[in-house]
Chain A
């Protein structure tokens, strides 16, 4: 059976495709160096519309109204533009209330796009543009350390990494956040209360890398303007030792947290990247591998949820688990020396 890989790797080549969900303009060029917050591609879209019913306003038939409408599709017009003028000695006039673009004309009505919004795709990592995908985006490449998480709040930022978690099972409390941490990205433990997230916002920090988050804080965490990446999941979970060690040894380096919202279909997931100088491109990590003895894995469900271990053996066929369920399983030696039997679907390869 093939296993998904959660990347926690000290030096690797990282290649990421950054695409708009629909056609727009690509604003970078091939071989351009980009920072995580640089815009790769952008598109305009209108989220607000106004429908002017000229026929009804002038109390005439739709057909008659169409003859009087002075605008055509794609016209860009300022506010108070004359749309149509009725007939008679004291004719009524239909005007636009806001500036916008004419999206459609028909049936005696005019549909205006107002309140245009810009959709931007950011690089998400420091690196070089290695491929342009016309009208959609680009591929960015860099080399460095990569630590992937399981939950993110959709924000991106870069800053100096400060380790304030004394141990992988540390708890971040509001009182621990002082002015010396302003502008930093914090390697913290778990967060159990709203005050901590709010205190980090007030400071402000450039980002939080957490082991876990209480489920009741998920909605608030989404509202925070700084990136929050969670490495293990929800509840009170210590950070896995591989991620903690790698992050802790890179303290004081610049780190980018792209707390992308996990999308199991596209593969987008939150990640932290520490760009490192290299003479040649280090190998790109595998996305899937086969379960074999010796492989480093992380437990995704109890027992020992979040703990790192290595596969001792993968018995053939189905194994009866302590729960009574039967499933393909592996014998895993955990870092605390204990050996457990766990179903393969509960394991994630770390590497």
Chain B
């Protein structure tokens, strides 16, 4: 047994989602941190409760019932630190994604420089850009002022100017933004984040300090024209988001107090874990984390020198769902459905689900619609996030998803899938990974909680990650090739640890699997046919070590980008066949 490096502090981690609130206990078991148990309850940010602490208490009570020990005192307060009788916990961390999308106005100088950085910064949290003010904006200042006031922003993000550069333009930009804030009723004034030329920081403090609900300054997101550094501003923004939530939703301040300020937006905590993972486990390939739930779709990618974090409330599966039709068509959603569903039924579904975000699919038809919508939402999120990936990353073709190892997926829509095969197929369809990658399902949605815990205890995330708390779905081999349906494109030979071999011939348009159980390892020899590329080069094969998972080794021969037949009947038959092959049915 490895010697313990930890002093045995127990940690309760809570996630306040739009639909569910979860309480997770991490504690030391046999000298190492482990995920012990999870209690969950419906979230209570919305009416009639309007107090997130109620849902938090309910989730903790459910956790108590599992653990058989008290975490709350008779008055309903969290017992900290842990008591000799086993009650209580030593620390609490909280992540939060509940709440309406934060209405944000971004202001910057140049469209492709500081405004682009402001957009990326804003997309790193649960915000929706409602207005953009730039140097090349042709509107008169008073029109800009009126537009900002009309949008009733919760947040203003101001960027622009390089450090040490000219200040005149940025000062000019501040005028309408500041005046708009000044003209709003005092209790409705937005929070302001200034992440531009640091030289005018004092001026910003003096002019904006008295006319905002809270003013934050962070290091410049564009210290020079060529350099973008979002991380410090993202950290500042994460704290501001919690501040905004405290004003919007009752009970956040209580959780902040219980956790001694260790409360973060779920997305930021996820991004922190991605940065950590890419530092610890990073290879030539990137690390991809995706999460889709009621509040938003999240894509975070970690590469050698850069990580990205994109949050898309517009692709969330909850109250904003009907708005997805501003970004896609009914036909594009229905292309993923194995059942013949009319446009009208889908449209009704989208609107009805927006009314009841917490409702779930009880029938097979409802599940088929729900999963088709999830596929398209995640597909759109991935396409949007790809714009922000660095250019010099490992990939097979520039227009395809880059090479990732591993892909970690979480969020209610994925972790609740009835079978791992359904979840995997959903990921393969929407993310369309290429080459060889391991797919891991964060079935208990632990990743953001570990990100939040890292600030309290740096050992805990490492030990929990390596403890098997995540479900390995399998290794996926996705060749990039174009061929006729049914043409062999790849041969694979899996050699198990006991020397037994299993072989597969992958035909274009099909999925195949070779069993390899979780915890087992093997060697996979790949022979590429017809110029197929799995990351070794066009037509080149190779032998690689692979680890097992719930579905073993999965070969996806459906082409990249995914080539769905135009004929609806044939397409639905194929989708049913793929589902059946991969164990989704």
Binding site for B on A (CB under 8 A): 1-2, 4-5, 21-23, 43, 45-51, 103-104, 107, 111, 113, 150-151, 215-216, 218, 233-236, 262-268, 287-288, 300-303, 305, 321-327, 341-343, 345-346
Nearest chain A CB to B272 CB, angstrom units: 28
Report how far A266 CA is from B248 CA in the complex, Å.
Answer: 10
Which B residue's beta carbon lies closest to that of A4? B48
Residue from B183, B249, B351, B361 in contact with A233 in the complex, judged by beta carbons closer than 8 Å: B351
Nearest chain B CB to A239 CB, angstrom units: 15
A-B pairs with lowest CB-CB distance, top 6: A267-B47, A324-B418, A235-B348, A22-B185, A287-B48, A234-B351
Residue from A150, A233, A262, A302 in contact with B362 in the complex, judged by beta carbons closer than 8 Å: A302
Q: B188 at interface (Cβ–Cβ under 8 A)? A: yes
Q: B352 at interface (Cβ–Cβ under 8 A)? A: yes
Nearest chain A CB to B364 CB, angstrom units: 6
Known interface pairs A266-B47, A302-B365. Does A233 touch B355 (Cβ–Cβ under 8 Å)?
A: yes
Q: List 8 A-B contacts (CB under 8 A).
A: A21-B188, A47-B149, A49-B146, A51-B145, A233-B348, A265-B47, A322-B362, A346-B356
Which A residue's beta carbon lies closest to that of B365? A302
Nearest chain B CB to A345 CB, angstrom units: 5
Which A residue's beta carbon lies closest to that of B187? A22
Q: Which residues of A contact B141 (CB under 8 A)?
A: 51
Q: Are B150 and A47 in contact (CB under 8 A)?
A: yes
Which B residue's beta carbon lies closest to that of A301? B359
Q: Which residues of A contact B418 (CB under 8 A)?
A: 323-326
Residue from A50, A233, A235, A324 in contact with B142 in the complex, judged by beta carbons closer than 8 Å: A50
Q: Which residues of B contact A323 (CB under 8 A)?
A: 360-364, 366-367, 418
Q: Are B185 and A45 in contact (CB under 8 A)?
A: yes
Q: B46 at interface (Cβ–Cβ under 8 A)? A: yes
Known interface pairs A1-B42, A2-B42, A323-B367. Does A264 touch B352 (Cβ–Cβ under 8 Å)?
A: no
Report how far A43 CA is from B184 CA in the complex, Å.
Answer: 13
Binding site for A on B (CB under 8 A): 19, 41-42, 45-50, 99-100, 140-142, 145-146, 149-150, 175, 179, 182-183, 185-188, 248-249, 319, 322, 344-345, 347-348, 350-352, 355-356, 358-367, 416, 418-419, 422
Q: Which residues of A contact B362 (CB under 8 A)?
A: 301-303, 321-323, 325, 341-343, 346
Known interface pairs A264-B319, A324-B418, A343-B362. Does A51 touch B352 (Cβ–Cβ under 8 Å)?
A: no
Which B residue's beta carbon lies closest to that of A320? B418
Known interface pairs A4-B48, A47-B150, A324-B367. Does A218 touch B351 (Cβ–Cβ under 8 Å)?
A: yes
Residue from A43, A234, A343 in contact with B360 in the complex, judged by beta carbons closer than 8 Å: A343
Report how far A43 CA is from B364 CA in the complex, Å.
Answer: 52
Residue from A22, A45, A50, A150 in contact with B355 in the complex, judged by beta carbons closer than 8 Å: A150
Q: Which residues of B contact A103 (CB under 8 A)?
A: 182-183
Q: Are A22 and B188 in contact (CB under 8 A)?
A: yes
Q: Which residues of A contact B367 (CB under 8 A)?
A: 323-325
Nearest chain B CB to A220 CB, angstrom units: 14
Q: Which residues of A contact B365 (CB under 8 A)?
A: 302
Nearest chain B CB to A268 CB, angstrom units: 8
Nearest chain A CB to B441 CB, angstrom units: 15
Q: Which residues of B contact A5 (CB under 8 A)?
A: 48
Report how far A34 CA is from B440 CA in the complex, Å.
Answer: 61
Which A residue's beta carbon lies closest to that of B364? A323
Q: Are A302 and B419 in contact (CB under 8 A)?
A: no
Which A residue's beta carbon lies closest to that of B348? A235
Residue from A49, A267, A302 in contact with B145 in the complex, judged by beta carbons closer than 8 Å: A49
Q: Which residues of A contact B360 (CB under 8 A)?
A: 301, 321, 323, 325, 327, 343, 345-346
Nearest chain A CB to B450 CB, angstrom units: 25
Known interface pairs A267-B48, A302-B363. Does A345 touch B42 (Cβ–Cβ under 8 Å)?
A: yes
Q: Are A301 and B47 in contact (CB under 8 A)?
A: no
Q: Are B249 and A51 in contact (CB under 8 A)?
A: no
Nearest chain B CB to A303 CB, angstrom units: 6
Report how far A8 CA is from B322 CA in the complex, Å.
Answer: 27
Q: Are B47 and A322 in contact (CB under 8 A)?
A: no
Q: Which residues of B contact A287 (CB under 8 A)?
A: 47-48
Report how far A14 CA is from B243 CA in the complex, Å.
Answer: 34
Q: Which residues of B contact A49 (CB under 8 A)?
A: 142, 145-146, 179, 183
Q: Which residues of B contact A345 (CB under 8 A)?
A: 19, 42, 358-360
Known interface pairs A104-B182, A265-B50. Does A51 touch B140 (Cβ–Cβ under 8 Å)?
A: yes
Report how far A302 CA is from B99 CA in the complex, Å.
Answer: 27
Q: Which residues of A contact B319 (CB under 8 A)?
A: 264
Which B residue's beta carbon lies closest to that of A216? B347
Q: Which residues of A contact B149 (CB under 8 A)?
A: 47
Report how far A255 CA is from B408 CA in the complex, Å.
Answer: 55
Nearest chain A CB to B416 CB, angstrom units: 6
Q: Which residues of A contact B146 (CB under 8 A)?
A: 47-49
Which B residue's beta carbon lies closest to that of A230? B355
Q: Are A23 and B359 in contact (CB under 8 A)?
A: no
Nearest chain B CB to A93 CB, angstrom units: 20
Nearest chain A CB to B411 CB, angstrom units: 15
Residue from B186, B350, B361 in contact with A301 in the complex, judged by beta carbons closer than 8 Å: B361
Nearest chain A CB to B180 CB, angstrom units: 9
Q: Which residues of B contact A43 (CB under 8 A)?
A: 185
Nearest chain A CB to B521 CB, angstrom units: 31
Q: Are A111 and B179 in contact (CB under 8 A)?
A: yes
Residue from A107, A111, A234, A326 in contact with B348 in the complex, judged by beta carbons closer than 8 Å: A234
Q: Which residues of B contact A233 (CB under 8 A)?
A: 348, 351-352, 355
Report how far A218 CA is from B355 CA in the complex, Å.
Answer: 13
Apart from the given pairs A233-B351, A263-B47, A323-B360, 12 other A-B contacts in the complex at a CB distance below 8 Å: A22-B186, A48-B146, A150-B355, A218-B351, A234-B347, A235-B352, A236-B348, A268-B47, A301-B362, A323-B364, A343-B362, A346-B360
Q: Which residues of B contact A1 (CB under 8 A)?
A: 41-42
Q: Which residues of A contact B322 (CB under 8 A)?
A: 215
Report how far A224 CA is from B99 CA in the complex, Å.
Answer: 30
Report how far A262 CA is from B351 CA in the complex, Å.
Answer: 13
Nearest chain B CB to A50 CB, angstrom units: 5
Nearest chain B CB to A336 CB, angstrom units: 17
Q: Which residues of A contact B348 (CB under 8 A)?
A: 215, 233-236
Nearest chain A CB to B327 CB, angstrom units: 16
Known interface pairs A267-B47, A267-B50, A303-B363. Does A324 touch B352 (Cβ–Cβ under 8 Å)?
A: no
Report how far A103 CA is from B422 CA in the complex, Å.
Answer: 59
Report how far A49 CA is from B149 CA in the complex, Å.
Answer: 10
Nearest chain B CB to A259 CB, angstrom units: 15
Report how far A321 CA is from B350 CA in the complex, Å.
Answer: 21
Which B residue's beta carbon lies closest to that of A300? B356
Q: Are A111 and B47 in contact (CB under 8 A)?
A: no
Nearest chain A CB to B331 CB, angstrom units: 16
Report how far A235 CA is from B179 CA in the complex, Å.
Answer: 45
Q: Are A288 and B359 in contact (CB under 8 A)?
A: no
Nearest chain A CB to B471 CB, angstrom units: 15
Nearest chain B CB to A40 CB, angstrom units: 18
Which B residue's beta carbon lies closest to that of A43? B185
Nearest chain B CB to A325 CB, angstrom units: 6
Q: Which residues of A contact B416 (CB under 8 A)?
A: 325
Which B residue's beta carbon lies closest to that of A212? B348
Residue from B140, B186, B351 in contact with A215 in the complex, judged by beta carbons closer than 8 Å: B351
Which A residue's beta carbon lies closest to that of B49? A288
Report how far A50 CA is from B141 CA in the complex, Å.
Answer: 9
Q: Are B361 and A325 in contact (CB under 8 A)?
A: yes
Q: Which residues of A contact B350 (CB under 8 A)?
A: 215
Nearest chain A CB to B582 CB, angstrom units: 14
Nearest chain A CB to B429 CB, angstrom units: 18
Q: Which residues of A contact B359 (CB under 8 A)?
A: 300-301, 343, 345-346
Q: Which residues of B contact A234 (CB under 8 A)?
A: 347-348, 351-352, 355
Which B residue's beta carbon lies closest to that of A306? B352
Report how far A247 CA is from B146 CA in the complex, Å.
Answer: 44
Q: Are A46 and B183 in contact (CB under 8 A)?
A: yes
Q: Which residues of B contact A218 (CB under 8 A)?
A: 351
Q: Are B142 and A111 in contact (CB under 8 A)?
A: yes
Nearest chain A CB to B333 CB, angstrom units: 14
Report how far A345 CA is from B357 CA in the complex, Å.
Answer: 9
Nearest chain A CB to B366 CB, angstrom units: 5
